[in-house]
Structure 1
Amino acid sequence: MVITPTEARRARHIAEQVPDPELPMLTLADLGVLRDVELTEDGTVVASLTPTYSGCPAMAEMRADVAARLSAAGYARVEIRTVLNPPWTTDWITDTGRRKLTEHGIAPPGAAPRGPVPLLLSPTRRTVACPLCGSADTEETSRFAATSCKSLWRCRACREPFEHVKEI
């Protein structure tokens, strides 16, 4: 295989199109977990992934899916690396990914917390806009949803339930 910039871009494009197993409306590129794709001199495609959190159960499937797609595209040697530093943050979800979440009725995360976080003894009320009607009159009904990275909410305006991707 002749290594050209075009071939390297092709390998990257293939890896970028792999859907996330837990949020299939997003690609791994939309989610921000696909960190890098390189084509080495010997023709090996090296894709680097970062898990959304330690122990993410979807990581094994992501690795297998990227390797399978690249192999199916004719790349004989594929290596998948796990990159833990810096850790993934929901800030890495692309604008396209956030738009896709909203279009599928899932509230995208806000900005991830940074630096010192104040500790309060009284409960605080977060505002999460309803992805269906846009109202901020919402309430959290469960801290956990179908996956540990999401919580369940209900809109008081349109009365519809929805999931929210937690800020990490």
Structure 2
Amino acid sequence: MVAVQGRAAEVAAQVRDPEMPMLTLADLGVLRDVVVRPEPEGEDRVIVSITPTYTGCPALATMRDDLVSRLNDAGFPRVEVRVVLTPPWSTDWISERGRAALREAGVSPPGPAPRPPGPVALTLGQTRRAAPACPRCGSAATRLTSEFGATACKALYSCTECLEPFEHVKEI
């Protein structure tokens, strides 16, 4: 059973994020758990738990479908994908390998997520954050060009040194 569990977890860990395909769901920190449960009918059930980067993440259905498809192809015919919202996903869950893959793809990885003590006040103004370094030349001379990039979890920046635009994964 341990070998089956390990194989199922290994297959699930290789599924790529549909919005940032340079990352696996494991490297993104979205893949939370993979459990193989024996069923009385004889076929094991694989239960995969994932936490979306945002509660309304539009890629969630694709993640689920990709996990089911890859596990089915690997010989696991009964797959259930569960969405776990507590604790909420954080950019701190992105692995070091994932952060390196983002940089290599020209996307600025997030810094540490803000963790203010106590309740978080709701503000409706523009989010203020330190400007990220350019993933191409490393310069700290960058500026925000749009709060939203190709996906809601990324912002658009440009480098004033090399003049290249780049995306930055927002800290949450």
TM-score (norm 1): 0.92
Q: How does 1:139-154 map to 2 (within 5 A)?
A: 139-154=143-158
Residue type of the partner of 2:12?
A
**Cα separation, 1, equivalents of 2:129 and 2:152:** 21
Identity of aligned residues (%): 58
Q: CA deviation at 1:124?
A: 5.6
**Cα separation, 2, equivalents of 1:96 and 1:124:** 27
CA RMSD in angstroms comes to: 1.8
Q: CA deviation at 1:125?
A: 6.5
**1:37 corresponds to 2:41:** no
**1:86 corresponds to 2:80:** no
Q: How does 1:1-168 map to 2 (within 5 A)?
A: 4-42=1-39, 43-116=44-117, 126-168=130-172
- How many residues are paired up? 163
1:37-56 superposed Cα distances (whole Å, 9 cap, x missing partner): 01112210000010111110
Following TM superposition, where does structure 1 have runs of at least 4 consecutive aligned residues deviating by more than 3 angstroms?
116-119
Gaps of 5+ in 2: none
TM-score (norm 2): 0.90
Change (3 A) 1:161 1:70: same
Gaps of 5+ in 1: none
1:87-126 superposed Cα distances (whole Å, 9 cap, x missing partner): 000100000000000000000001111024799x9x9662
**Cα separation, 2, equivalents of 1:125 and 1:81:** 33
